[in-house]
């Protein structure tokens, strides 16, 4: 029903030579749009580009609904020759086409939903693999002809990457973040205010930070990092797409994963994993008491989600040990005030 719609977006995108969608840019997506906006867009087909009369009719309907920002976007789109689409998601179901998939990725990067906050089932099958170039998105099958055409003009077509996901900053630059290498943050990443992503940091889609935080390691798909946490250089998190199965990996508040370390279990708050140590669900961990005496040995999965843990490797025996973490990570406030 239109009075309980999940999301709405008016976007402009790119077609290949067959009129198939390659990508869509939504400048101002809406989560749970007002009933009047949903009603105005109720007859729109999310898989088809709007023709001129349909777009003008939608603009008038949005104006009448009091959606001035969306109506203004529609007016701007009416003056372009690029394909325009209106997507109304009446419910949070799996995306069925490229515009629906891109709208959901925009919702994440605009911080309208958190990681795991929307249904992305089947997204990989929906999105095409695209050449992202200095001339925009190009169908892989059409790339050789476009490269030749550029050469014949005395130019070089720059191909920055070949992927299903573009870099986030070509679509969304959230307020209050620093990103040293923009190609390492995919559209669909969720970066909370105060987040710094350094040159070797990486943030996948449907993953990210609550902010503030320092990211010098890898945030894999589906992983969420709590406020005040620090991922050291070269560290990793196992995502649900890379061996984590159905376990949702997350890191709580004020945690530290040391350089080249990593986790395959969720952590609570104020946890530390020493540099170079990778904790997987099956890692055998010796639990120590306050005096440093071994109490028991457990598999790391039994510690999932617990707070105030310090994981280290005994340099003499090689045993992975866990004891109470007596200090929390404190981030430099000046580094994460990205005004």
Catalytic residue numbers, as ranges = 216
Instruction: Round to whole Å and give the CA distance between 22 and 283.
Output: 43
- Cβ(128)–Cβ(39) under 8 Å? no
Asked if residue 191 lies in contact with residue 176, where contact means CB atoms within 8 angstroms, the answer is no
- Strands across the sheet containing 207-209: 189-191, 207-209, 224-225, 250-251
**In contact, 281 and 265? CB cutoff 8 Å:** yes
Pure H helices in the chain: 35-40, 52-64, 68-78, 98-109, 123-126, 143-152
The answer for residues whose C-beta is within 8 angstroms of residue 158's C-beta and 6 or more apart is 133, 134
Q: Report whether 23 contacts 137 (CB < 8 A).
A: yes
Give the tokens for residue 302.
């039994």
Cβ-Cβ contacts under 8 Å for 98 (sequence gap 6 or more): 13, 20, 21, 22, 23, 24, 126, 127, 128
Tokens 């993953």 -> residue: 207
> What phi, psi does 15 have (nearest 5°)?
-105, 155
C-alpha to C-alpha distances, 156 to 151, 161, 170, 254, nearest whole angstrom:
6, 15, 21, 47
Cα(262)–Cα(255) distance, rounded to whole angstroms? Answer: 12
């Amino acid at each position: 029903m239109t009075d309980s719609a999940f999301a709405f977006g008016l976007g402009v995108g790119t077609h290949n030579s067959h009129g198939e969608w390659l990508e869509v840019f939504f400048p101002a997506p809406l989560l749970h749009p007002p009933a009047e906006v949903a009603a105005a867009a109720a007859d729109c087909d999310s898989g088809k580009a709007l023709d001129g009369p349909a777009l003008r009719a939608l603009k008038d309907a949005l104006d009448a609904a009091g959606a001035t920002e969306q109506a203004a976007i529609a007016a701007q789109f009416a003056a372009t020759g690029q394909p325009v689409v209106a997507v109304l998601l009446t419910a949070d179901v799996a995306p069925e086409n490229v515009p629906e998939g891109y709208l959901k990725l925009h919702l994440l990067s605009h911080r309208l939903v958190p990681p795991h906050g929307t249904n992305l089932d089947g997204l990989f099958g929906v999105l095409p693999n695209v050449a992202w170039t200095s001339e925009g998105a190009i169908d892989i099958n059409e790339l050789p002809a476009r490269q030749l055409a550029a050469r014949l003009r005395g130019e070089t077509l720059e191909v920055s990457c070949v992927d299903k996901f573009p870099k986030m900053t070509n679509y969304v630059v959230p307020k209050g973040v620093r990103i040293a290498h923009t190609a390492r943050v995919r559209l669909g990443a969720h970066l909370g205010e105060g987040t710094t992503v350094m040159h070797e940091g990486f943030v996948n889609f449907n993953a990210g930070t609550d902010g503030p935080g320092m990211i010098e390691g890898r945030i894999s798909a589906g992983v969420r990092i709590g406020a005040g946490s620090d991922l050291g250089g070269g560290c990793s998190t196992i995502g649900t797409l890379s061996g984590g199965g159905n376990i949702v990996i997350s890191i709580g508040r004020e945690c530290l994963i040391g350089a080249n370390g990593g986790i395959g279990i969720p952590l609570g708050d104020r946890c530390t994993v020493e540099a170079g140590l990778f904790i997987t669900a099956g890692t055998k961990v010796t639990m120590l008491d306050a005096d440093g005496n071994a109490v028991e040995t457990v598999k790391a999965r039994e510690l999932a989600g617990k707070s105030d843990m310090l994981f280290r490797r005994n340099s003499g025996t090689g045993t992975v040990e866990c004891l109470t973490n007596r200090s929390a990570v404190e981030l430099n406030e000046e580094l994460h005030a990205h005004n």
